[in-house]
Amino acid sequence: MSALQELFSDQLKDIYYAEKQIYKTLPKMTKKASSPDLRAAFEKHRGETEGQIERLEKIFELLNTPAKAKKCPAIDGILEEGAELMEEHDVGPGLDSAMAAAAQAVEHYEIARYGTLLSWSKELGMKDASAILMETLEEEEATDKALSKLAVTKLNKLASADDDDSGDESGDESDDDNEDASSAKSVSPGKRKKA
Ligand SMILES: [Fe+2]
């Protein structure tokens, strides 16, 4: 076995582990999503992830080795950070933006891994594996783009209008009409001085 074959097989086990972890995590994220679009995006990607796991199993078959996962600390870390977000933020627009960003971190990790696997499979002359990997890579890239679009056109706008973290910055400040522009500049939101 060449060094590259060994690397390929190792990386395959790594991404197999990652996909399985992602598959387990997506329903938790879906549950916490307020935006129906974000929920739909997570649900769609869970279905895709199931297919991606099956594709990896096909590649293991092509290699004549049993499908085996190898613990990947990188994806564990990315998912752990996502889990922390879900604990730290209440359900709402802010959490939606945070989860979309966390999901994109996952996608970028996967895009890096699949890109490498694809180039190694090409180098190794594994045409069937390359075709399979390409399919998944394109799916991950499309997911990343869809999440960006959703965040920019909807989620981030809702999150910037919402103000549940800092308390009394928005709307209801009709009581402060004595505050002039220069003092408003120096006073931080939520800590207005008395008139
Ligand atoms: Fe994936």
- Distance from the alpha carbon of residue 174 to the mean position of ligand 1, in angstroms: 49
Which of 149 and 164 is assigned the larger pLDDT?
149
Predicted local confidence at residue 162, as pLDDT: 53
- Distance from the alpha carbon of residue 52 to the mean position of ligand 1, in angstroms: 6
- Distance from the alpha carbon of residue 49 to the mean position of ligand 1, in angstroms: 5
Long-range contacts made by residues 132-136, C-beta under 8 angstroms, separation at least 24? 132/55, 132/58, 132/59, 133/55, 133/59, 135/55, 136/52, 136/55
Asked whether residue 186 carries a pLDDT value surpassing 50, the answer given is no
| Assigned superfamily of 3-161 | Ferritin, core subunit, four-helix bundle (1.20.1260.10)
Asked whether residue 184 carries a pLDDT value surpassing 90, the answer given is no
Cβ atoms < 10 Å from Cβ of 53: 18
- Distance from the alpha carbon of residue 153 to the mean position of ligand 1, in angstroms: 24
Q: How confident is the model at residue 13 (pLDDT cuts 50, 70, 90)?
A: very high
- Distance from the alpha carbon of residue 6 to the mean position of ligand 1, in angstroms: 22
Q: What is the mean pLDDT of residues 115-140?
A: 98
pTM for the model? 0.81
User: Does residue 76 contact residue 20 with C-beta atoms inside 8 Å?
Assistant: no
What would the pLDDT profile of 90-115 be if each residue is shown by its tens digit?
Answer: 999 999 999 999 999 999 999 999 99
Asked whether residue 182 carries a pLDDT value surpassing 50, the answer given is no
Asked whether residue 129 carries a pLDDT value surpassing 90, the answer given is yes
- Distance from the alpha carbon of residue 156 to the mean position of ligand 1, in angstroms: 24
